[in-house]
């Protein structure tokens, strides 16, 4: 039922969570001038990093979108508006490590912490060649 809510148009007085936000990007934790992944190739291009297709990452995030909707229900008040980006590492086993809010204009730390906790529970396919750094925007309309 929650998934149906996410995929259908929300009523005006309810928050709508956009799972069709741009695909996740892979990046390094180096300074902001560091390059990001080549999304056209669909894999992380940073030296020494593993590879996982952005579509694989998006599929797992979308499948776990119920956790975000649960956060909205619990901490969203009258309906959050804005965007947050969560960054995390996908380990060689597919587990999530070092998840954190990379940016947000929600102004709701409890909601942000809940979304990050939901990301930490996701399980991804094991990347080939090591770990992958990625991030994903969560847009609340």
Give tens-digit pLDDT for 36-92: 223 323 333 333 388 999 999 999 999 999 999 999 999 998 889 999 999 999 999
51-141: CATH topology is 3.30.1150
**Distance separating alpha carbons of residues 104 and 86, to the nearest angstrom:** 9
Residue 30: pLDDT above 90?
no
pTM: 0.68
Classified as helix, coil or strand, 95 is coil
Percentage helix, strand, coil, to 5, in the chain? 30, 25, 45
* Cβ contact 111:76 at 8 Å: yes
Residue that is written with structure tokens 């996740």 in the block? 24
* Cβ contact 71:140 at 8 Å: no
* Cβ contact 49:27 at 8 Å: no
- CB count in 10 Å sphere of residue 55: 10
């Amino acid at each position: 039922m929650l998934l149906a809510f996410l995929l259908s148009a929300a009523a005006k007085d309810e928050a709508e969570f956009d799972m069709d936000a741009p695909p996740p990007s892979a990046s390094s934790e180096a300074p902001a001038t560091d390059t990001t992944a080549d999304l056209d190739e669909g894999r992380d291009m940073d030296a020494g990093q593993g590879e996982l297709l952005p579509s694989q990452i998006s599929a797992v995030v979308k499948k776990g979108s119920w956790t975000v909707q649960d956060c909205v229900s619990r901490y969203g008040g009258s309906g959050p508006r804005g965007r947050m980006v969560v960054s995390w590492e996908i380990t060689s086993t597919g587990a999530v490590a070092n998840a954190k809010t990379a940016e947000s204009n929600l102004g709701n730390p409890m909601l942000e912490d809940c979304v990050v906790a939901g990301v930490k529970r996701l399980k991804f396919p094991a990347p080939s060649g090591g770990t992958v750094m990625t991030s994903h925007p969560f847009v609340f309309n």
